[in-house]
Structure 1
Amino acid sequence: MPSSDAPSTTALNGCKLILGVTGSIAAYKTAPLVRLFKKAGAEVRVLMTESAERFIPALTLGTLSGHTVHTEIFPEHDPDSWTEHVSLGLWADAFVIAPATAQTVAKLAHGFSDNMLTATALSARCPILVCPAMDLDMYQHPATQANFEQLRSFGYEVMPAEHGELASGLEGPGRLPELPAIAARVAALIDGTASDPGQSSSLPPNALSGTQVLVTAGPTEEPIDPVRMLTNPSTGTMGFALAEAAAAYGATVTLVSGPTHLDTPPGVTRVDVRTAAEMHEAVQSRRHEADLVFMAAAVADYTPAHPADTKQKKDDGPLTLTLERTPDILHTLGQHKRSGQVLVGFALETDNARANAQSKRIRKNLDWIALNNASEAGSGFGTGTNALTLFGPNDHEHSIATAPKRTVAEALVTHVVRHTPALQPSAAS
């Protein structure tokens, strides 16, 4: 099966990008990022801070981009080019700062222009995307978070840092976002499908601290006999990404998963099940404590009524199975939803998608439903990407553009939390 990890970046074809590189160890990743942009058809100009050159040579990025890398406002080799920061700011369709250190984020937030990168940012009239990379405590420090909010108030787009092992040996948020996710966000900015200017694209660290989150993921397997079963192609990637995103925001997360080959996300408690009945039992026994539920599993609607105890031998005639309905886990959750509990379901549709999803939300008493149209490229089972349309209370509708599932999951969690009063910090206090 071909890899689908890279989202569509067709909006980058023919566009003009500035890539700003700052002094983080993640700067080495900018070489493949330049290649990714170029492969998508973009023209790339690179700006570097002095510290960035400690991690990757300007010559490398200049060779890959095909243009001289700018590091100084007043270059000695060309003293007449001191207005280059202005012309570049007018030239670009988008300005990407990756990696963005805490130092550069602080400078951008407070209008400093003491190097080529920050001066160009002040001159730019195009969308600016900031991709942080720094150590855990620096990222979570209130000053850094306040600087992110200041940038968002200017209309900058700020991607959340990835959760994982950091260069210091600590583990947590602080890693540079994945390169395909950065490319997808740039494409969305250019295509006009990114978040509105001034609207935060991520939540503060520990935004879900004290919140119990329950997530289901993966397929179920319904046995025909000891060696045969009914199942579906779900990999569980979307549900695992949701669990990881919620845990990164400080939630206590329980992940009920059907059979998958995925590793358990950091900080997540995993409960493995096989059948729809087992998933139903696991969810119902844990629903009382859950403040937020994401039902992302692809649960079988039918199961063999009388599975055989021994392997059934094939013969020349047809095989006839009698199927019976499996428990409707989501409907049961909706029927017993407690006050303040938030239910998010998924609808995988191929036709009449919007009407079917909206009907399902009302019928099953859900707060939100995420429509996943399997007939669209980059969506459905077995892909590394996804695209969702989210329907909520009061005819609320929100689209999440095609991107890697981790990016889509973070966007989904963020949007649900920001638009659900019961999940706001004031509601929990």
Structure 2
Amino acid sequence: MPERQAHKDERKAEEKRHVEAEAETEKASHVGAKTTTLTLAEEARRREQDSDSVMASSYIVRGKTYADAVLLPPVAPPKKKQILLAFCGCESAANFRQLIQAFLRWAEVKVIVTKSAKKFVKPPFPDEVPVYMDNDQWILWEKKVAVCLHAELYMWADAMVIAPLSVHALAKIAGGFCDTLLTSVVRAWNCVRKPLFVVPSMDPLWKENYTTLRNYISLHELGILIITLLIQKKDGKLPEPDEISKFVRDNIWCI
């Protein structure tokens, strides 16, 4: 019996040594793989550093540094919006200078002055603001210049603002007339692609007339935005130039 017990103990000890040996072998293989992985990573990092140094030296030879190659080009400042302003013959057109200055703070401006607006809108205009009148369209036509002024103004502008819009011009636009430079531009305007804002100004009796309401509906169907209906003034007065400019700036969309 003692011999049999000793034999069993010897077998257990041998099995234990065998298991420990296998464990040591497996551990050594993991360490070797890890070492190989680290070695490969270090080699890749070393190659990248070498290539950077070569690239840097090549740019230095050309009078540049490697930093010059990886820096992004400077971002251009945002382009100013291009606003086409139009004035009709109303007393509120006397504020045209304040309105122009309000828009010039954030946009480039071109101006259309109707024939009746000349009684209220008078020079001088800011030097950087081109001014167009009905005669300009016919002068180009008489000179046989291959330029369609109302189309050129439409293509240039990101948005159009008619402030003030007289009851007479309102009726013309609603009826589809294009017998002036202003109405020609409006007739060519695509309100789906570019916004068109108007600020109607008229006698209170005209404002309450059913014909005016019908014309408002026509403008709405054309996609024209009526600022006086969107900015509710408690005293019933027209929006101030700064309010008009801010409303257009906040609600403009451009192609």
Larger helix proportion of the pair = 2
User: Aligned residue for 1:95?
Assistant: 160
Give, in angstroms, the shift of residue 136 of structure 1.
0.7
CA separation of 1:100 and 1:77: change in aligned 2, threshold 3 A: same
> What 5-or-longer segments of structure 2 have no aligned partner?
1-77
TM-score (norm 1): 0.37
Give, in angstroms, the shift of residue 160 of structure 1.
1.9
User: Aligned residue for 2:100?
Assistant: 34
Give, in angstroms, the shift of residue 76 of structure 1.
6.9
Q: In structure 2, which of residues 82, 98, 112 is the aligned counterpart of residue 16 of structure 1?
A: 82
Give, in angstroms, the shift of residue 189 of structure 1.
2.9
Q: Which runs of 4+ in 1 moved over 6 A?
A: none
Instruction: Check the 8 A contact 2:115/2:133 in 1, yes or no.
Output: no
How far, CA to CA, are the matches of 1:119 and 1:99 in structure 2? 17
Percent of paired sites with the same residue? 27
Give, in angstroms, the shift of residue 37 of structure 1.
0.6
How far, CA to CA, are the matches of 2:240 and 2:86 in structure 1? 16
Give, in angstroms, the shift of residue 32 of structure 1.
0.7
For 1:120, give the aligned amino acid: V
How far, CA to CA, are the matches of 1:78 and 1:35 in structure 2? 34
How far, CA to CA, are the matches of 1:157 and 1:24 in structure 2? 19
Is 1:70 matched up with 2:136? Answer: no
Instruction: Check the 8 A contact 1:24/1:52 in 2, yes or no.
Output: yes
How far, CA to CA, are the matches of 1:178 and 1:44 in structure 2? 18
User: Aligned residue for 1:154?
Assistant: 222
Instruction: Check the 8 A contact 1:17/1:45 in 2, yes or no.
Output: yes
Within-5 A mapping of 1:306-385: none
SS of residue matched to 2:139 = coil
User: Aligned residue for 1:48?
Assistant: 113
Which structure's relative contact order is higher, taking Cα pairs within 8 Å and 6+ residues apart? 2
SS of residue matched to 2:252 = helix
How far, CA to CA, are the matches of 1:156 and 1:64 in structure 2? 30
User: Aligned residue for 2:248?
Assistant: 186
User: Aligned residue for 1:299?
Assistant: none
Is 1:111 matched up with 2:111? Answer: no
SS of residue matched to 1:20 = strand
Instruction: Check the 8 A contact 1:16/1:94 in 2, yes or no.
Output: yes
> What 5-or-longer segments of structure 1 have no aligned partner?
1-11, 165-171, 193-429
Give, in angstroms, the shift of residue 25 of structure 1.
0.7
Instruction: Check the 8 A contact 1:74/1:81 in 2, yes or no.
Output: no
Give, in angstroms, the shift of residue 185 of structure 1.
2.0
1:182-209 deviation per Cα after TM superposition (whole angstroms, max 9, x unaligned): 11221133248xxxxxxxxxxxxxxxxx
How far, CA to CA, are the matches of 2:147 and 2:207 in structure 1? 33
Instruction: Check the 8 A contact 2:87/2:165 in 1, yes or no.
Output: yes
Give, in angstroms, the shift of residue 85 of structure 1.
0.4
Larger strand proportion of the pair = 1
Higher Rg: 2
Instruction: Check the 8 A contact 1:100/1:131 in 2, yes or no.
Output: yes
Cα RMSD, aligned residues only: 2.5
CA separation of 1:64 and 1:39: change in aligned 2, threshold 3 A: farther
Instruction: Check the 8 A contact 1:88/1:124 in 2, yes or no.
Output: no
Give, in angstroms, the shift of residue 70 of structure 1.
3.1
